Amino acid sequence: MGRLQSSDRSGSDFADATGATTTSQERIARSNRRPTPASKAAKASSEGDVVINVAQVCNENDVVKSSELVRVQFRLYCCTEFGDSVAVAGSHEKLGDWQPDQALKLAHRRQVDKRLRDCWETELELPAGTTFEYKFIRLLGNDVHRVQWEVGPDRRAIVQRTANDFCIIESEWERTFVHFSIYFPTKEGQRLYVTGDPLEIGRWVEPGPVPMALTAEEERLETGGKGRRWELTISVPTTLSKFGYRYVLVDERANQTIWEREPNRYAVLEHAVNGLLECRDANFVASLDFDEIPPDLYIGPYPQTPEHVEAMHQAGITAVLNLQTDEDFAHRNISWPALEAKYKELSMQIIRYPIPDFNAEALERLLPGAVRALDTAVKTGQVVYVHCTAGMGRAPAVVVAYLVWCRGMSLPDALDYVRRHRSVAAPNVSVLEKVLRNPL
């Protein structure tokens, strides 16, 4: 359980879980009352590899409390010294209402790695849907009057039953787990990486992007289909409020590295629940890589700059059907006025028909109108560029429906035709099957 310590701890020094050296007096000086968010600088050093149980965490606003009791297991990885104990204090009465002497103690289970980290666990039962705030504390020498609180903001928890029939709240001392997950249909020899501000994902350039791994099995995607996702779990300091990141596609055969061209994505740590922040992403957009759907359609991602609009014009495109919403514009920091001005300068027709992303009900309701708008443009002789954000879901769905309703194709033939020309197309087939039962 770590190094033996002297019985007189008033002046002894030690290295805590983040690697910072503090004295026993400094440790004891931390109040045994509920702490306010600390301003301590975040440490970027990694604590090592630990196998993490990753689960989809629901939104607190969607939680419905019930009388059903759920086993809740707290699991903490931290460095401890001989004679110390660990507890969890929080806003729930079973966690002592933030009082250290009433906090729920954890039991030492095992040492997990060579860095002297230990695994501590405890269990209790709470009604499903219970929400509370909590922090882990160290009781120095197992003394409730000598308490070291975790730095950083209070952690949040939502009690929910998982596939294992109990709720696991798994954490590292003063760190939060972050799970990156993205669907992108890579080819043989290609692999997705992630990088960003924290050292744990490479600090952008040095040491550089960190490789992700494919899930073992296919799962249900936001677009309604199934596929294997790329994923990676890291831990970052709890004092880190948010950080930027991007995905990188590495083609080992072609010796190519393709970076996402979009503005940075952001992970906001205050959204973490049960010790875990889920960064579940669905789009990877490397460049303005659009595909022709002969004879008079194109599908692709959104143009980001006037130069992209110029490239579309040079390809022979004369009209644009934009399926993005105002929320998409805000989320991606899209300068619509600049794009609109370029479209007008090149005499390109602009058609906006917003369809919310990852919303099957909205797609079902709005698909006929989008197809009518596309059909009208094509009938006037336009070569139309149909785009959503990534050109993977909404845009292919509109084009497939157009080919069925207006060109007389069967749904399987239309899907095959679009996918043959745009390999990353992943429209919501279940919505298409339902909508296309009816005439336009």
**Residue pLDDT, tens place only, 389-430:** 989 999 999 999 999 999 999 999 999 999 999 999 999 999
What percent of the chain is modeled with pLDDT above 90? 65
Q: Would you place residue 360 in the very low, low, confident or very high pLDDT band (cuts 50, 70, 90)?
A: very high
Q: Would you place residue 161 in the very low, low, confident or very high pLDDT band (cuts 50, 70, 90)?
A: confident
CATH top-level class of 175-281: mainly beta
pTM: 0.65
Take residue 349 and report the two structure tokens written for it.
């027709």
- Measure Cα distances from 375 to 40, 93, 261, 407, 438 in Å: 59, 62, 31, 10, 17
For residue 307, pLDDT over 60 is answered with yes
On average, the pLDDT of the chain sits at 85
Which run of H or E residues covers position 236?
strand 230-237
pLDDT for the residue numbered 333: 67
Residue 232: strand pairing partners: 180
Read off the DSSP letter of residue 67: S
Beta carbons within 8 Å of 234's beta carbon, 6+ residues apart: 46, 177, 178, 180, 198, 200, 201, 210
Side-by-side strand order, sheet with 384-387: 291-293, 297-300, 384-387, 319-322, 349-352
Q: In CATH terms, is domain 69-172 a member of 2.60.40.10?
A: yes
Pairing of the two strands 175-182 and 276-281: parallel
Q: Would you place residue 99 in the very low, low, confident or very high pLDDT band (cuts 50, 70, 90)?
A: very high
pLDDT for the residue numbered 110: 83
pLDDT for the residue numbered 66: 58
Residues of the chain with CATH 2.60.40.10: 69-172, 175-281
Taking the CB of residue 100, how many other CB atoms lie within 10 A of it?
Answer: 22
Question: What span, in angstroms and rounded, lies between the C-alpha atoms of 149 and 140?
Answer: 11
**Residue pLDDT, tens place only, 180-218:** 999 988 889 999 999 999 999 999 878 999 999 999 988
Beta carbons within 8 Å of 240's beta carbon, 6+ residues apart: 42, 176, 198, 269
For residue 48, pLDDT over 50 is answered with no
Q: Which residue has the higher pLDDT, 334 or 398?
A: 398
pLDDT for the residue numbered 262: 63
For residue 365, pLDDT over 50 is answered with yes
Nearest CA to 195 out of 92, 265, 114 is that of 265
Whether 279 contacts 181, CB under 8 Å: yes
Q: How far is CA 58 from the centre of its chain?
A: 13
Take residue 295 and report the two structure tokens written for it.
């004879």
**Residue pLDDT, tens place only, 251-295:** 888 777 888 876 789 999 999 999 999 999 877 877 788 999 999
Task: Tell me whether residue 347 is exposed, middle or buried, using C-beta atoms within 10 angstroms of its C-beta: 0 to 12, 13 to 18, 19 or more.
Answer: exposed
Q: Which numeric CATH code is attached to 291-436? A: 3.90.190.10
Q: Would you place residue 10 in the very low, low, confident or very high pLDDT band (cuts 50, 70, 90)?
A: very low
